[in-house]
A and B are shown apart, each in its own frame.
Chain A
Amino acid sequence: MSAVLDRPVQAPQRTRHPRRWRGWLLPTWSWLVIGWLCLPIFVMILFGFNNTQGKFNIKWQGFTLQWYRQLFTIPDLTNALEASLSIAVIVTVIATILGTLLGMALGRYKFRGIGSVNLLLFANIAAPEVVLGASLLSLFLTVGIPRGYWTIVIAQVMFSIAYVAVTVRARMAALDPALEEAARDLGANGVATFFRVTLPLLMPGVMAGALLTFALSIDDYIITSFNAGQTVTFPLWVYGASRNGVPPQVNVMGTLIFGFGVLLAVAGAAINRRRQA
């Protein structure tokens, strides 16, 4: 017994790791990557405040707010922005509804052809936009649909559905089917079950899909350019203008759209957090 007690009890020595290069390399590297990603956005925002004199807005010439005041002084640009925003809203609504329904079916049920549908979604996302745009154009030409506002909508809905469907599918697959059964059991009919249980629980997936769709739609250039006809959207106008100088209003609009997007994302995250609290 004494043999045990005589020996002083030693606390396990904690081996201290010297602060090595690993300690600072990761944060530094991370911030470099973040900076790299954000740099173009900062430049865009900054040059929205540039008191530029010439045609080209590439040299810092002092701070001004005049481009914010003169935001809508270029009618073509304003029209293009309007077209883009309205198309984005329409596309988001249509693609979100269709994509959600598709995602629900894929996430919950086993049906004939489910494999092909999943493959199709993947192909849709993976296919080069040039190919999609060109083949849609040839389709519209063959069928004889005049290109314009609504062909842009159709084209963008076409490529957006897959994104919504994929996000909703993941959410739906993770949803316990018993939740819907419980709702039915408690007296809810199919409609009430959907709106009070299924949809609220799918909402994070649906919102993620919707935001993605809006973002894809508002800055889509390639597919839109094939199918736009005479309609000019914001990206198309900017691209056209870039040859003889992009006016600072474009930076301002870009800044505003970006700010709007960030706001939506933050709001979504906040709602999610409150919902889970």
Chain B
Amino acid sequence: MDVQTAAVPPPRAGAAEGSEVSAEPAPSAGPGSAIELVGIAKTFASRRGTVAAVERVDLVIGEGEFFSLLGPSGCGKTTTLRMIGGFEDPTEGQILLHGKDVVGVPPNHRDVNMVFQSYALFPHMSVFENVAFGLRRKGVAKRDTESRVREMLELVQLEGKADRRPRELSGGQQQRVALARALVNRPRALLLDEPLAALDLKLRQAMQLELKRIQREVGITFVFVTHDQNEALTMSDRLVVMNAGRIEQLGSPREVYEHPRTRFVAGFIGTSNFIRRPVRSMEGDVAVLDSGTDERIVVPGARGRRRGRTPRRRHGAPGEDRADRAAALGRPLRHPGACRGGRVPRHVDAVRDAVAGRHLTDRVRAERGRRHRPR
């Protein structure tokens, strides 16, 4: 039987479906959009011509949202974040911060602050001076600066460390200083570039909760870049999965986890096995796959299709009846783009037997067969 087991470790129990994941479908950004990216593209000049880091990204991030950009390294997520922060200018497109186009506006005139991956704390300044840096540049009165910095150090639980130098602090503490230094300016949005990547697992998990708590307390829009799916899934209100400079999927963690829209997302998020078999028939919401033996593979909830993502959509008119569309699943695949449809998630017991002894995940997806005629 043609079963592809994606080489991924078993999932951490409750990694994505724990209490942190909101059950509602993705709330849309709504009217109060904090950040809007309109057709953003960025190409870098290299020795062999130009390299596209980001290609035509459209995105609306809502006010007060915890929004994640998730993807493998080199997918353009950091470049996107840096464009929002003003450290790179897009080659094309518009960046709207609260409705105002800020392309060409330098970082010091943008109402967003950034937490850098390396923290970028000023080593020649004390923790207090680091946090006060932004307020002093803006000419905030001395007494206000003092009290706001103290308040912020309290928020990140570093009250006693004001006079320390960054190098005297642990990684987690440095991370908090970086957070305080950005938040003290009360930005309209906070940009976080893989801020937890340098921490060990335990500290990282603690900081995830901590970040979430702080975000709830200050109510500021957080844009969070990470390559760690656990991080993105546990913390975000919504997220995008990026690949090769494009957005693969936008949605709530639950949506993205349970209904991956593309094969890339399915492979990147969670832990999945891929089964590529022709669909023999559709019985209600259950797809029956041809296993090539006497066994049948029964896959409940062929949701990808219901959302109109079958290749059928390209040929047929919408509103065709389900059986018809199900039949379409069995069509030979010619166009790589057509791969989008026909994924069928959830348990398949037959598969569990088929790869005896292998630890299996709870997600299995079926794709259309290649040499099969619809029945």
* B-binding residues in A (CB < 8 A): 176, 178-179, 181-189, 192, 196-197, 200-201, 275-277
Contacts of B182 in A (CB 8 A): 185-186
Inter-chain CA distance A50–B114, complex, in Å, is 66
Q: Is the CB of A176 within 8 A of B118?
A: yes
With A179-B122, A181-B107, A182-B116 given, name 4 new contacts (CB 8 A).
A178-B116, A181-B116, A186-B185, A276-B167
- Our pick among A181, A185, A201 for the contact of B124 (Cβ within 8 Å) is A201
**In the docked arrangement, what's the CA distance between A189 and B107, Å?**
9
In the complex, how many angstroms separate the beta carbon of A184 from the nearest chain B beta carbon? Answer: 4
CB distance from B223 to the nearest CB of A (A): 13
Interface 1/0 per residue, B136-168 and A, CB below 8 Å:
011000000000000000000000000001010
Contacts of B137 in A (CB 8 A): 186-188, 192
- A196: B residues at CB distance < 8 A: 133
Complex Cα distance, B276 from A107, in Å, reads 53
Given contacts A179-B122, A181-B107, A277-B165, contact A188 B87 (CB under 8 A): no
Q: How far is the CB of A206 from chain B (nearest CB, A)?
A: 13
B52 at the interface (CB under 8 A from A): no
Q: Is the CB of B108 within 8 A of A189?
A: yes
- The chain B residue sitting closest to A200, CB to CB, is B124
Chain A residues closer than 8 Å to B108, beta-carbon distance: 184-189
**How far is A182 from B117 in the complex, measured between Cα atoms in Å?**
11
Residues of A within 8 A of B122 (CB): 179, 182-183, 197, 201
Structural contact, A186 and B124, CB atoms closer than 8 A: no
B141 to chain A, nearest CB (A): 15
Q: How far is the CA of A183 from the CA of B138 in the complex (A)?
A: 12
Contact A182–B138 (Cβ < 8 Å): no
Contact present for B185 and A182 (CB under 8 Å) = no
B118 contact set on A, CB distance < 8 A: 176, 178
B114 x A182 contact (CB < 8 A): yes
Contacting residues, chain A, for B133 (C-beta < 8 A): 183, 186, 188, 196
Which secondary structure dominates chain B's binding surface?
Answer: loop
Query: Which one of B117, B123, B134 lies within 8 Å of A187 (CB-CB)?
Result: B134
Check A185 against B85 for contact (C-beta < 8 Å): yes
Q: A186 to B181, Cβ gap below 8 A?
A: yes
Q: Are A275 and B106 in contact (CB under 8 A)?
A: no
Give chain A nearest CB distance to B47 CB in angstroms: 11
- Indicate if the CB atoms of B120 and A181 lie closer than 8 Å: yes
Q: Are A182 and B120 in contact (CB under 8 A)?
A: yes
Q: List 28 A-B contacts (CB under 8 A).
A: A178-B116, A179-B120, A179-B122, A181-B114, A181-B116, A182-B114, A182-B116, A182-B120, A182-B181, A184-B106, A184-B107, A185-B85, A185-B86, A185-B114, A185-B182, A186-B113, A186-B185, A187-B108, A187-B137, A188-B108, A188-B137, A189-B106, A189-B108, A196-B133, A197-B122, A201-B123, A201-B124, A277-B165
**In the complex, A213→B325 CA distance in Å?**
81
Q: When the two chains form their complex, are residues B138 and A187 in contact, meaning their CB atoms are under 8 A apart?
A: yes
- Chain B residue, CB-CB nearest to A181: B87
Q: Are B120 and A275 in contact, with the CB atoms below 8 A?
A: no
Measured between alpha carbons, how far is A181 from B138 in the docked complex, in Å? Answer: 16
Residues of chain A lying within 8 A (CB to CB) of residue B134: 186-187
- Cβ distance B237 to chain A, nearest Cβ, rounded Å: 24
Interface size class on chain B is 20 to 34
Q: What chain B residues lie within 8 Å of A276 (beta carbons)?
A: 165, 167
What residues of B have a CB within 8 angstroms of the CB of A179 in the complex? 120, 122
Interface string of B166-204 (1 = CB under 8 A from A): 010000000000000110010000000000000000000
When chains A and B are docked, how far (Å) is the Cα of A277 from the Cα of B168?
9
Q: How far is the CA of A167 from the CA of B295 in the complex (A)?
A: 73
A176: which B residues are within 8 A, CB to CB?
Answer: 118, 120
**One of A178, A188, A189, A192 near B120 (C-beta < 8 A):** A178
Would you list the 6 A-B pairs with minimal beta carbon distance, nearest first?
Answer: A186-B134, A178-B120, A187-B137, A182-B120, A184-B107, A178-B116
Once the chains are docked, how many angstroms separate the CA of A186 from the CA of B108? 6
Contacts of A189 in B (CB 8 A): 106, 108
A interface footprint on B362-373 (CB within 8 Å = 1, 0 otherwise): 000000000000
- Is B113 in contact with A185, judged by CB distance below 8 angstroms? yes
Which residue in chain A gives the minimum CB-CB distance to B107? A184
What chain B residues lie within 8 Å of A275 (beta carbons)? Answer: 124
For B110-131 the 0/1 string (1 means CB < 8 A from A) is 0001101110111110000000
Contact with A along B199-212 (1 / 0, CB 8 A): 00000000000000
Which residues does chain A contribute within 8 Å of B181, judged by CB atoms? 182, 186
- Chain B minimum-CB-distance residue to A175: B123
Least distance between B92 CB and chain A CB atoms (Å): 23
Shortest A171–chain B CB gap in Å is: 13
Query: Cα distance A229–B113 when bound, in Å?
Result: 59
Residues of B within 8 A of A188 (CB): 108, 133, 137
Q: Name the distance in Å between B174's Cβ and chain A's nearest Cβ.
A: 13
On chain A, the residues within 8 Å of B85 by CB distance are: 185
- CB <8 Å contact, B107 and A185: yes
User: Are A187 and B185 in contact (CB-based, < 8 A)?
Assistant: yes
Bound-complex Cα distance A96 to B185 (A): 36
- Nearest chain A CB to B80's CB is how many angstroms away? 16
Q: Which residues of A contact B87 (CB under 8 A)?
A: 181, 184-185
Complex contacts, B123 vs chain A, CB 8 Å: 201
When chains A and B are docked, how far (Å) is the Cα of A276 from the Cα of B166? 10
Nearest CB of chain A from residue B2's CB, rounded to whole Å: 48
- Residues of chain A lying within 8 A (CB to CB) of residue B116: 178, 181-182
A183 proximity list for chain B (CB < 8 A): 122, 133
Q: Which of A181, A186, A197, A201 has the most CB of B within 10 A?
A: A186
A202 to chain B, nearest CB (A): 11
Q: How far is the CA of A272 from the CA of B181 in the complex (A)?
A: 25
